[in-house]
Amino acid sequence: MKFDPGFDLRLRERSLGFDYGEGVFGPEPEYRSLDAIRPSLKDDQCNGPDPVYGIVMDVGEKIDRADLDRRMLLFGAVAYTAGRLGEELVRSQGHAHHISPHCGWSTPELFEIWDGNAIIYMQEFTTDEPGRCIAITAKPGEVVVVPPGWAHAVINADPENYMVFGAWCDRQYGFVYDGVRAHGGLAYFPVLAKGDEITWVANPRYKRNDLHVRSARCYPDLGLTSRVPIYRQYKSDPESVAWVSDPGRFSERWKPFEP
């Protein structure tokens, strides 16, 4: 991978799985099928690669395991295949996070791109009024924060190559799909036009709000350091990512937050 994950985690050759080095724990990969994400695609009968991506949730260094449990933090890694889903880019189906029992929040998520080119699309709500709609492009070494409560999907922006990323999540994470599936997807679909130019097609089941496409930014306001792997930031200062599972510590900051 082009960017160091910060611990001995490797993409398995010719697959969407991961291998763990000495002193690293993690599960066998789970694979998301095309059928699993059809309910949120622009064309739910399209052809495309299958599986779409591989995911391992709860990975890290064995020495950190008890501390991660105590802090209610969980680290995950995901590998997306190349290709396209009909007219669309390879992506996840989109979801919001459920209310985490230990903190009472729909918790945020911190993404870090390790290989390929990504887009993290997010919207404030999954009601007919989606609120702010933002798509953030990110390259290896860049991070993206999805604020509490926002629905989101991760997209492989390059149909010719794999895309790999890691993410800090809440340990009691859970996905809420109801609003997304009721609208046949999120408020915008990432479609590949001629020449592989990415265009955004509005989902007519939502009220039309403008989409803002931005590059990834730095987040010193959240205590993050640029270009330092987010797992290594946890190792050196666990408080730097503690807001992922304890967003209430920044309760006033989230209201005007711009991803």
Task: For residue range 200-217, list pLDDT tens digits in order.
Answer: 999 999 999 999 999 999
pLDDT of residue 232: 98
Find the mean pLDDT for residues 180-197: 93
Which tens digit of pLDDT belongs to each residue from 21-59? 999 999 999 999 999 999 999 999 999 999 999 999 999
Which tens digit of pLDDT belongs to each residue from 169-188? 999 999 999 999 999 999 99
Round to whole Å and give the CA distance between 49 and 90: 8
Find the mean pLDDT for residues 236-256: 95
Report all structural domains of the chain as residue ranges with CATH numbers, in order of start.
9-254 (2.60.120.10)
CB 37 within 8 A of CB 86: no
pLDDT of residue 196: 82
Average pLDDT of every residue of the chain: 96
CB 212 within 8 A of CB 134: yes
- Number of alpha carbons in the 13 Å side-chain half-sphere of residue 216: 21
pLDDT of residue 255: 87
pLDDT of residue 193: 85
Residues facing 16 on adjacent strands: none
pLDDT of residue 43: 96
Q: 101-111: b or e for each residue (b if 16 or more CB lie within 10 Å)?
A: eebebbbbbbb
Residue 229 has pLDDT above 80, yes or no: yes
